Homo-oligomer: A and B are copies of this chain.
Amino acid sequence: MTFKRNWTDHPEGSVLVEFGGTRVLCTASVTDGVPRWRRGTGQGGWVTAEYSMLPRATHTRGDRESIKGKIGGRTHEISRLIGRSLRACVDMKALGEHTITLDCDVLQADGGTRTAAITGAYVALQDAITWIGNEKKVRRPENVLKRSVAAVSVGVISGQARLDLCYKEDVAAEVDMNVVCTGDGEFVEVQGTGEDNVFDRAALDAMLDLAAKGCKELTGMQVKALLSR
């Protein structure tokens, strides 16, 4: 997995994540104020995420959700997963009444787009929080970031737990699991689904072990990317 920081010029954080054939542009936008339902509640800032795929990111062209006039269930589900994962990183009170929006746009898809999006969005988020500090938008910028997150997908193919499947393996997988961990190895999100198949506790344990190991490696790569330049 490679991270190209500042891939575009305008956002407060902008990272192109590449992982196998998968390419996701993760941007972090800082705006003053919070959504109406949160205003004046004393709960501080907000972090939200929107995931989308370009129509021809995949093998066959998908219709644009803007033209269909509605967001599909899969898009909603992934946007919410990214949002929850990244909110786990931020101390909302320390952030104050600012909103950070993480846009994860898949330019090319080859499996694992949601976990690549989370892992890249974290890097964009940290850059945006650095920007917030530089702009003196909050009193104690060093308190805004509570922890880092990274995510992997694990699957079971022919009864064997496997990390980060590409698209072809993904389709063949009997079980599919997305795991989001903190830099300290704790869990933020665990989502495992068999759909056609089911899995026993042993398979689940094997996947969790593998996922924790995978997230740890990604955390290292994130740190390295954030140190460069």
Contacts and interface: CB of A to CB of B under 8 A. Distances in A.
Contacts of A169: none
Nearest to A59: B10
Given A186-B199, A192-B189, A193-B189, A66 B52 contact: yes
6 contacts: A25-B107, A29-B55, A52-B64, A84-B193, A188-B194, A190-B193
Interface residues of A, number: 67
Interface string A140-167: 0000000100000000000000000000
Given A52-B64, A188-B198, A190-B192, 7 more contacts: A8-B23, A8-B108, A9-B108, A10-B56, A10-B58, A55-B101, A190-B191
Interface stretch (A34-42, A70-78, A115-123): A70-78
Interface stretch (A129-137, A200-208, A221-229): A200-208
Contacts of A208: 201, 204
B194 A187 contact: yes
Contacts of A188: 193-194, 198
A186 to B, nearest CB: 4
A105 interface: yes
A15 to B, nearest CB: 12
A30 to B, nearest CB: 9
A168 interface: no
Contact of A195 (B52, B56, B73, B88): B88
A61 B128 CA distance: 14
A219 interface: no
